[in-house]
Amino acid sequence: MSLRRLAKEQPANFEISKAALKEIDIWVQKYPEGRQKSALIPALWITQKDAGGWLPEAALRALGDLLDMPYIRVYEVATFYTMFNLEPVGTHHVQLCGTTPCWLRGAGDLKKVCEDKIGPKGSTSHDGQLSWIEVECLGACANAPMVQISNADSDHYYEDLTPESFGKLLDDLVAGKKPEQGPKNGRFTSEPEGGANTLISKGLYSKVTKKALPNAVKKARKKPTKKAAAKKPAAKKKAAPKKPTAKKTAAKKKVKS
Q: Is the peptide bond before 70 cis (omega within 30 degrees of 0)?
A: no
Binding mask 79-108 toward ligand FES (x if CB under 6 A, else -) reads: ------------------x-x-xx------
Q: Is 40 in the site for ligand FES (CB under 6 A)?
A: no
Task: Give me the least distance between CB of 103 and ligand FES, in Å please.
Answer: 7
Task: Give me the least distance between CB of 181 and ligand FES, in Å please.
Answer: 14
Binds ligand FES by CB under 6 A, chosen from 39, 55, 146, 170: 146
Q: Of the ranges 66-74, 138-146, 163-171, 212-220, which one interacts with ligand FES (CB under 6 A)? A: 138-146
Binds ligand FES by CB under 6 A, chosen from 140, 147, 169, 173: 140
Q: Of the ranges 57-65, 118-126, 140-148, 183-191, which one interacts with ligand FES (CB under 6 A)? A: 140-148
CB nearer ligand FES, residue 92 or residue 105:
105
CA angle 99, 104, 110 (to 5 degrees): 75
CB nearer ligand FES, residue 30 or residue 121:
121
Q: Is residue 72 packed enough to be buried (19+ CB in 10 Å), middle (13-18) or exposed (0-12)?
A: exposed
Task: Give me the least distance between CB of 179 and ligand FES, in Å please.
Answer: 19
Under a CB-based contact definition with an 8 Å cutoff, are residues 152 and 91 in contact?
yes
Under a CB-based contact definition with an 8 Å cutoff, are residues 21 and 62 in contact?
no
Q: Of the ranges 131-139, 217-225, 228-236, 245-253, which one interacts with ligand FES (CB under 6 A)? A: 131-139
Percent helix, strand, coil in the chain, to 5, is: 35, 10, 55
Q: Of the ranges 30-38, 110-118, 134-142, 176-184, which one interacts with ligand FES (CB under 6 A)? A: 134-142
Task: Give me the least distance between CB of 183 and ligand FES, in Å please.
Answer: 13
Between the two ends of the chain, the Cα-to-Cα distance in Å is 108
CA angle 41, 25, 15 (to 5 degrees): 80
Binds ligand FES by CB under 6 A, chosen from 137, 162, 168, 181: 137
How far, in Å, CA of 72 to CA of 147, rounded?
31
Say how many residues touch ligand FES, by CB under 6 A.
11
How far, in Å, CA of 116 to CA of 169, rounded?
14
Q: Of the ranges 14-22, 132-140, 166-174, 231-239, which one interacts with ligand FES (CB under 6 A)? A: 132-140
**What are the backbone angles phi and psi of residue 74, rounded to the nearest 5°?**
-70, -45
How far, in Å, CA of 16 to CA of 87, rounded?
18
Task: Give me the least distance between CB of 79 and ligand FES, in Å please.
Answer: 23
The dihedral through the CA atoms of 38, 40, 41, 47 has a sign that is positive
> Where do contacts with ligand FES occur on this chain (CB under 6 A)?
97, 99, 101-102, 137-141, 144, 146
